[in-house]
Structure 1
């Protein structure tokens, strides 16, 4: 029957796509949304040596994107070539592993011209200005123009040539937010370049959404000013300077104190040779560096730049150049983790200033205008003598209570000069009140001592190692071939924490030892949890985290409990140990262990300032 006759399928014909289709395909990889176009154009301006860059947009970048710079510019002869695919001034094509610029593929401008209406006006020093327009891939002639210097790239009606792409864009506000984030990241990457971002929706002068003036001084001075301007003075006041170098790799920037943690990762900015990246390995290493100080729902804040020889990193692995691949990823990861932990350890007991700000904000201040009293602040001795004079004389006592207070204050002047001061009282059997030369400190005795005991236990574990418990019968865990290979790759590191894993034929692994401190544990469940973390972050700190969680619980049970009354010498001993112990400014979950209030802040509460 005819129905049983074999169907003859027509063989597909291989065709060469035309230039317009090729450019639109490339645009789909490079230009996902208006923010992607802004990124490409601003990076071109930076590569051109611009010192000031202005970005204007309208309707979330859908109607207009205009980038103006004062860079080296292009001649009229260069303009048609700049709109050709794979034409670039950044590299000569001989070495793709020695890239010193943001751009190098020569795809951005022709891609933008294929999906929108693109106009480029430029002028080189000593030459005449020229302009060229390309719309939907059709290029116009080069014409004379008026421009003093640099380049102006104007992109209108993005995706008009591919209207289906417009349906996948978000609201104007969401696209504008994405543009702002791109400009902020590039501003942090280039602190010596000035940036201005304007929303031109509705016409007129527009509204300035972001501004960052060029930084002065050396790199760190410029970066500090730029970070403070972009992320706010609160971040920079609570950030630690990072400057680490090892084996030809360098890490620089600022990392915030653990007590300045955030509810999301919005204040994490990582760069490689000044290039903003969203690299999973680097962000995972940042999380690992802080994991002992923060709970799982809190995120560190940092602006960090990894600097290395361009030949040791491949930036040509992602269409938008958002990810990189290092030749020695373990060395980079180790530098970031150890460098940050060294910096955090150097901060000692310091806690973020936001803790005091939150405390002051929590005070209930009477409504109405407070009367301001102008007066000189008397010395401590004068205050004590005044109190003694005003105190009533109590029958049967040789001295007034205030005189005993004065003697106690004068007996420990050296303690008041210490960072956490001298203990003065204990409130509600949990809060130690200490006096410093500049104000007062309130300490949560249980949280503080819990951190001290925890650090002590960690030191003991580091010195003696992790004790492993050999399983009477090794537990065999069946895995996929890929999971088994990935797990065995990290077997040496897991062994350091008492988890011994060996290959057991095929794709199975044998768990022979587990950390004894974990007690009874399902080896198979532990292995699969480790694999999940490896798949998610490219690394696993799960075993170490579980061990340190046990140590944390031990520290909690072995620390000074709330409700216990402490003598003055015990309270002062606790304060001194906090000053000498790294990370004592936060408890095991990242919360502050103490609050410091300046005398000026206290006076302001009472309307004295």
Structure 2
């Protein structure tokens, strides 16, 4: 077999298979080049989902004709000298442009600021056209047409135009979050334009542009540092969650990454607060010495490897849990907005002409024109089918009385106040129907002003034997008593688990679990840490572990399964939190069955005691299953429901 050198074009096409997987990959590489060039405005135009056209325009430093010639050659870059431990730019491999040019029709037009004219270079299916002068503004325009026309097999595996366009949009969103000082404009075939205006140093404003304004109202700031790693960003409240993980973003030294360690740490930090199948919303940015992270794992540069993954994982989990403990108990604004939507009448959006205003409790009579009751008003009192009006038995016949016949209710009004206006008559009729408990002469006792100053206010009522309604200084709060008390009981049990050793049950016959020797070594290194949790293990030969005690809370436990799970966790993350998680799951189950049940009537004193305990307990904003325990509604929101603001 003869060994021969592959042609340069074929080498570039092979590289393109790794670097350029789809139009979104090309967009990512070209946007990174524009950012590395110092651009402050980047425009992305697409057609056919990026397969027909992908044009990136920036106002960066530009390239000279000599630089253009080198830019389309393999392994030529201005971003790296010789040290892979000092990568401080997004790109550095020098493969993107030659790879793209080998499978498409590539045109690059560029002009440095000091140059009097621009230059242009063409690359079609790997065939290079010499540089020629061209009219151009400062910066660079990279135009990619007919992507993968030179490799039809790859073109067959592309998705629909809509799917490819959505992938490009996601790339732009990630870059926009990472660089808030840069303006991004994305336009597509349908002539719609998405623009992310530059926000300078206001990262939260840029995140709100991308994720929506709701995130700004429901975000907690993260700012933590451990050794040589700094973590910043924003996370959503536990009750502000989503049905998928598309709104989770991670950045390492400004580079968008899809790192499994980061997202698993994020999921672990929210494990106790979000229901299964729901995902938190988060934007995490890690700043680390480039020598402590390897970004050269894959040509796409989406995966990274940390020198100390345990440190990074512990920092993420600790910082998020600390933020949730200090500020994560407040209710998300989406709960209030959802409540308002539920209360809003179905016809609220209808034109005013289609819904004439009318007094509450009255409906238009279906009388023929010119024949009106109640002082010829177009409305008459509404009566239930049984005619039982509280405080007005005479109205019992009004519901069945034919139109035009004497109406006892209307007659009573006329006799009692013949000189009153129609509005006065209606008010008098409404007053006569009030139940004694709602009358002005039997008011509800006012709440304690001191209690109103508490975050959850003063309890005022219990409805449906499950929901506590509390009044605050600027609104009201609705509390799910079972979910709230369940969380309080769970926190008490969990505190007990942490402050004193877990009761252990001794096995009559120790369980012997066979494991690889390296797993046994890892488990024995953590043996002392397991003992306070009620798990006692010993070495039983080179490849086995003897289990003598297990936590009593777990009852009958699958000992081999537990030990192997702990060994797998230690092998992957160098931590063994699985046992603690199992114990806390048992505590959560006990709390669910030991808390105040729905349907139990509570006294005002009990309701207020529950509210005060919620305010003093971290994590009380959601139950053990991740559902919210209360919803807050501002007075301004209530007034908006009634059209008063």
Alignment partner of 1:148: what SS? coil
Alignment partner of 1:119: what SS? strand
- The correspondence of residues 179-328 of structure 1 with structure 2, limited to 5 A, is 179-200=168-189, 206-208=191-193, 210-216=194-200, 219=201, 222-328=202-308
Gaps in structure 2 of 5+ consecutive residues: 359-426
Q: Does 1:33 align with 2:69?
A: no
- Cα distance in 1 between the residues matched to 2:342 and 2:218: 20
- Cα distance in 2 between the residues matched to 1:495 and 1:20: 63
Contact 1:252–1:305 (CA under 8 A) maintained in structure 2: yes
TM-fit CA distance, 1:479: 4.3
- The correspondence of residues 35-74 of structure 1 with structure 2, limited to 5 A, is 35-74=24-63
Structure 1 residues 568, 501: CA separation in 2 closer, same or farther (over 3 Å shift)? Answer: same
Q: Which residue of 1 aligns with 2:157?
A: 168
Q: Which residue of 2 aligns with 1:76?
A: 65
Contact 1:533–1:540 (CA under 8 A) maintained in structure 2: yes
Alignment partner of 2:280: what SS? coil
TM-fit CA distance, 1:240: 0.6
Match among 505, 526, 532 for residue 469 of structure 1:
505
Q: Which residue of 2 aligns with 1:590?
A: 626
Structure 1 residues 189, 507: CA separation in 2 closer, same or farther (over 3 Å shift)? Answer: farther
**Higher CA-based Rg:** 2
Contact 1:441–1:594 (CA under 8 A) maintained in structure 2: yes
Contact 1:474–1:510 (CA under 8 A) maintained in structure 2: yes
Q: Which residue of 1 aligns with 2:446?
A: 409
TM-fit CA distance, 1:182: 0.8
Alignment partner of 1:140: what SS? strand
Contact 1:365–1:605 (CA under 8 A) maintained in structure 2: no
TM-fit CA distance, 1:493: 6.2
TM-fit CA distance, 1:482: 7.4
Q: Deviations over 1:499-518 (max 9, x none)?
A: 45555445544434432211
Alignment partner of 2:65: what SS? coil
TM-score, structure 1 normalization: 0.87
Alignment partner of 2:242: what SS? coil
- The correspondence of residues 193-592 of structure 1 with structure 2, limited to 5 A, is 193-200=182-189, 206-208=191-193, 210-216=194-200, 219=201, 222-347=202-327, 349-363=329-343, 365=345, 367=347, 368=350, 369=352, 402=440, 405=443, 408-409=445-446, 412-479=448-515, 497-501=533-537, 504-505=540-541, 507-530=543-566, 541-592=577-628
TM-fit CA distance, 1:490: 6.8
Structure 1 residues 359, 533: CA separation in 2 closer, same or farther (over 3 Å shift)? Answer: farther
RMSD (Å), alpha carbons: 2.7
- Cα distance in 2 between the residues matched to 1:329 and 1:495: 26
Structure 1 residues 521, 400: CA separation in 2 closer, same or farther (over 3 Å shift)? Answer: closer
Alignment partner of 1:134: what SS? strand
Contact 1:499–1:511 (CA under 8 A) maintained in structure 2: yes
Q: Which residue of 2 aligns with 1:601?
A: 637
- Cα distance in 1 between the residues matched to 2:520 and 2:52: 51
TM-fit CA distance, 1:139: 1.1
- Cα distance in 1 between the residues matched to 2:244 and 2:92: 33
Structure 1 residues 21, 543: CA separation in 2 closer, same or farther (over 3 Å shift)? Answer: same
Q: Deviations over 1:40-85 (max 9, x none)?
A: 0001111111101111111011111111111111110111111111
- The correspondence of residues 102-181 of structure 1 with structure 2, limited to 5 A, is 102-127=90-115, 128-181=117-170
Alignment partner of 2:597: what SS? coil
Contact 1:115–1:162 (CA under 8 A) maintained in structure 2: yes
Aligned residues: 567
- Cα distance in 2 between the residues matched to 1:498 and 1:281: 29
Contact 1:212–1:226 (CA under 8 A) maintained in structure 2: yes
Contact 1:122–1:147 (CA under 8 A) maintained in structure 2: yes
